[in-house]
Chain A
Amino acid sequence: MEAENIIEMLHITKEFPGIIANDDITLQLRRGEIHALLGENGAGKSTLMSVLFGLYQPEAGEIRKNGQRVKVNNPNDATVLGIGMVHQHFKLVDVFTVLDNIILGAETTKLGFLQKKEARKKVEEISKKYGLSVDLDAKVEDITVGMQQRVEILKMLYRDNEILIFDEPTAVLTPQEIEELMATMKEFAKEGKSILFISHKLNEIMEVADRVTVLRKGKYVGTVNTCDTDKQSLSNMMVGRPVQLQVEKEPAKPGDVVLSVEGLTVPSHSHKRNAVNGVSFQVRKGEIVCIAGIDGNGQTELVYGLTGLEKCSAGKVTLCGEDISHASIRHRGNNMSHIPEDRHKHGLVLDFTLEQNMVLQRFREPRFQQGGFIKKGSVREYAETLIQQYDVRSGQGPVTLARSMSGGNQQKAIIAREVDRDKPLLVAVQPTRGLDVGAIEYIHKQLVAERDKGRAVLLVSLELDEVMSLSDRILVMYEGEIVGELDPKTTTVQELGLYMAGAKRSQKEGEGA
């Protein structure tokens, strides 16, 4: 007789220096269900899953499979128990082919020689059965992120895993890919596989999961059936207080032009066409202008061109009345703060402490240095003020290594730094990507507050909800050009979608929309 719960994690406690990541958490996964694990950044979701997968050893608590106590010392034990995991950041060998990646670690061999033919047959069967189409001979570095994720899923299926863990699988996917993934997950559940789905996107959880377990700050809050709950109560459970899912803001009162862009052209690295082609627009004081579009239509390069990370080949950028088309990044920083798209690559020096990161641009100011010597005391004091004011949580305060902080708090630290620099223009690129509702609410409020203080805000976002609720004007980018300017109050999501897909264009083309 089989137990109802295929996996039980009972009273798990896991500590890290300065923080209890999991405090007496219990999670029961039933056979054939999709069980969502919901929580803010740093709530301990990933830690809990790493414990289940054998990456961490808990200080207390036990794991049971089919009612039997088991010990998971490393990922190999997990594999033997039939537990597979798709990590948030894929664990694939870039220069290997898809097939090699799938069989890696579970190769069929004869006398020490690989038996790839058998493996290929098995992978092909699986991929056909679930409609997970991949090119087995392509190298991982050449395929899309969506396909890489399918490779990860195939890896689990190839190992005949029956418990599948998905760690924030939708963060990197396009809306279409998300839909496909949801369908695949439901298919797995129907076959009796059990799925643990880590997410903080409420829409997805409501759509796909049967039950939800909510964690908050390392503690267990509760487990509910999705049919008995709604988005609002879930987000309240997660954050611990009522959350506004809608942005509240007054109508904008735009003032003088702060940023003026004329015919900006930025060459592309990957192909011959320009990534940004003759884009013109203006951003005024006291308004949030949002650049909307599907990822990869030149938004990244547009921001690089504006901030100086990339050289523009043509066009003119005027900031606060000054031509900065060819100015250095540092010079542009005098009137512009920038929340970058890639917080690990650009936003933080990961091996620096939090306080060192807080003065990344400002260390030259007399407040923080004297005669070339850094005033350690003032840096510490400043960092502590920001940490408190913006509620940046970390293990050891100002001396925490940025690398060891959770993604949401890293982002909060960047936002604290950039907002506090107090510049006329704030460029925010996907500031809420990968964050939970509590943090999103907070960041949205910050952006609106900045606008109301008379700052010009240029927001680049891929989330339609965010675009519609936050912006005062929407500029849609498609293939490196601005194809339309929309008013969020009069337009619909459907219309915006048509512009983003390139199916619709404003009449007055070339006039900068």
Chain B
Amino acid sequence: MKEKGSTLLQKESTKSVLASLIAILIGMAVGAVIILIVGIFNSNLGLKGALEGIQLVFGGLFSTGRNAAGALTFGFNPTNMGNMLFRATPLILTGLSVAVAFKTGLFNIGAPGQYLMGTAATLILALSIPTSVVPAPLVWVIAFVGGCLAGAIWGCIPGLVKAFLNINEVLACIMTNWIAANLVTWLFDNGSLFENLQNHVENTKTAYIYKTSFNGVQTAKLGLDKLFPGSQVNGGIVVAIIIAILVYILMTKTTLGYQLKACGASRHAARYAGIADKRNIVLSMAIAGALSGAAAALYYLSGNTEFYWTSAYQTLPATGFNGIPVALLAASHPIGVIFAGCFMSMLDIVGLQMTNLTAYNEYITDVIIALIVYLSAFSLVIRMLISGRKKHKAAKVDAASTPQVPPPDDGGTAEKGGGEA
């Protein structure tokens, strides 16, 4: 048992997880300090409010409001849990998008643009195909695939430019982001091609597109609404997790993943070995783009979200950019992305809880997110520290242990002994 634990601790993947967890803990601890300082100097909050804030940062997901005496109560909150999963869905996919690109030596900062293109394609397909002619589930599939394809095509552009003209993908991504932003506005603006998709049923709203539920095309709940009543969760999270697992298999088990990683790690060596380097660069960006497109598709196909655009100044969707911290926190591991995405959306929920229950606003959680992102960039350093400590401990006990101890046991006792020392 002991031995098993020590070999597990020595594994690289364990170190990554540990490093990310430490980054999260430090980030939340520093966040707690900030909350404390803000609280103490705010007459609406005081020390009591500050302590409540800290409680919420760590346990916001399990917050169930306040009791009659005005004290915070905690317990299982299915609404919060479901909403966390709902919000995690697009984050997991944009996180995967960035992670796949990272693994293949590319920095996909174009996720927001790919996400917008996916949004546009999904909405147009989901709302334009009459469900009276085509069955709604089929429209859903068409809209989902269309969103992925649009993202893929948008991801291809920086890939092509990088492969054939050797222009840095970061530059091309940033530029295609803004092209996408304005293209989408142009598509839905008054007097343009898809003006008819503007939401005119609810008169109070301007510059909104219909929800996909308007056409009866929304993601099946798969019983998740029973499990998490009162939340927005739907089958999208299942699709996202399946995609993450597929990406994991693609990257680690297949020849395609091998080629993509070879090109990413050393374009010259891959070319020398007869691997089509240019094709693979375009392909990785296309896969990354498709994942961002899928994020948008699942978010808007949920049926309870609506797309807002403005002809004055289109902003880039934060979900796209938030894929970067998710990928960083997960050390680009596809399975890790699932948890990192859930964690990030949990902080979102925490922000909401704080706004609802205390005098803090939700931006305080953005500060914590920023801190964690910052620290996750240091995860390599943290990892090195972990390894260094291990070795030091092992060496210390090695010197002390008697020669009778057989070598395989050494690691186990080293861990244990070092921990007690």
By a CB distance below 8 angstroms, the chain B residues around A374 are 253-255, 258
Binds A, one of B26-34, B59-67, B121-129, B262-270: B262-270
Is B271 part of the contact surface with A, judged by Cβ < 8 Å?
yes
Is A373 part of the contact surface with B, judged by Cβ < 8 Å?
yes
- The answer to whether A372 touches B270, judged by C-beta atoms less than 8 angstroms apart, is no
For B270, the closest partner residue in chain A by CB is: A349
For A343, the closest partner residue in chain B by CB is: B269
Q: Among the interface residues B255, B269, B270, which one has the most CB atoms of the partner chain A within 10 A?
A: B269
Identify which of B253, B254, B262 contacts A349 (C-beta below 8 A): B262
Which chain B residues numbered 107 to 127 have a C-beta less than 8 Å away from chain A? none
- The answer to whether A340 touches B272, judged by C-beta atoms less than 8 angstroms apart, is yes
Range of interface residues on B (Cβ < 8 Å): 10 to 19
Q: In the assembly, what is the distance between CA of A352 and CA of B265, in Å?
A: 8
- The answer to whether A373 touches B254, judged by C-beta atoms less than 8 angstroms apart, is yes
Which chain A residues numbered 365 to 393 have a C-beta less than 8 Å away from chain B? 369, 372-374, 376
| Number of A-B residue pairs having CB atoms within 8 Å of each other in the complex | 65
Binding site of B, secondary structure by majority: helix, strand, loop or mixed?
helix
Task: Name B's A-contacting residues (CB within 8 A).
Answer: 253-256, 258, 261-262, 265-266, 268-276, 395
Q: In the assembly, what is the distance between CA of A332 and CA of B271, in Å?
A: 12
- The answer to whether B255 touches A373, judged by C-beta atoms less than 8 angstroms apart, is yes
A 353-373 binary contact with B (CB < 8 Å = 1; else 0): 000100011011000010011
- The answer to whether A361 touches B256, judged by C-beta atoms less than 8 angstroms apart, is no
Is A51 part of the contact surface with B, judged by Cβ < 8 Å?
no
By a CB distance below 8 angstroms, the chain B residues around A376 are 253
Identify which of B255, B271, B395 contacts A329 (C-beta below 8 A): B271
By a CB distance below 8 angstroms, the chain A residues around B265 are 349-352
Q: In the assembly, what is the distance between CA of A317 and CA of B265, in Å?
A: 31
Q: In the assembly, what is the distance between CA of A338 and CA of B266, in Å?
A: 17
Q: In the assembly, what is the distance between CA of A361 and CA of B262, in Å?
A: 11
Q: In the assembly, what is the distance between CA of A69 and CA of B262, in Å?
A: 48
Which chain A residues numbered 277 to 333 have a C-beta less than 8 Å away from chain B? 307, 309, 328-333
Q: In the assembly, what is the distance between CA of A372 and CA of B272, in Å?
A: 21
Is A348 part of the contact surface with B, judged by Cβ < 8 Å?
yes
Q: In the assembly, what is the distance between CA of A369 and CA of B254, in Å?
A: 8
Identify which of B256, B261, B262, B266 contacts A372 (C-beta below 8 A): B256
Is A347 part of the contact surface with B, judged by Cβ < 8 Å?
yes
By a CB distance below 8 angstroms, the chain A residues around B395 are 59
Q: In the assembly, what is the distance between CA of A203 and CA of B299, in Å?
A: 71
By a CB distance below 8 angstroms, the chain B residues around A307 are 272
Instruction: Knowing A350-B266, A360-B262 are in contact, say whether A372-B254 is a contact too (CB < 8 A).
Output: yes
By a CB distance below 8 angstroms, the chain A residues around B254 are 372-374
By a CB distance below 8 angstroms, the chain A residues around B272 are 307, 309, 329, 338, 340, 346-347
Q: In the assembly, what is the distance between CA of A95 and CA of B276, in Å?
A: 32
By a CB distance below 8 angstroms, the chain A residues around B266 are 345, 348-351
By a CB distance below 8 angstroms, the chain A residues around B256 are 372
By a CB distance below 8 angstroms, the chain B residues around A356 are 258, 262
Closest CB in chain A relative to B28 CB, distance in Å: 32
Instruction: Knowing A350-B266, A351-B266, A373-B253 are in contact, say whether A363-B274 is a contact too (CB < 8 A).
Output: no
- The answer to whether A364 touches B262, judged by C-beta atoms less than 8 angstroms apart, is no
- The answer to whether B258 touches A345, judged by C-beta atoms less than 8 angstroms apart, is no
By a CB distance below 8 angstroms, the chain B residues around A372 are 254-256
Q: Among the interface residues B253, B262, B265, B272, which one has the most CB atoms of the partner chain A within 10 A?
A: B272
For B254, the closest partner residue in chain A by CB is: A372
By a CB distance below 8 angstroms, the chain B residues around A352 are 261-262, 265
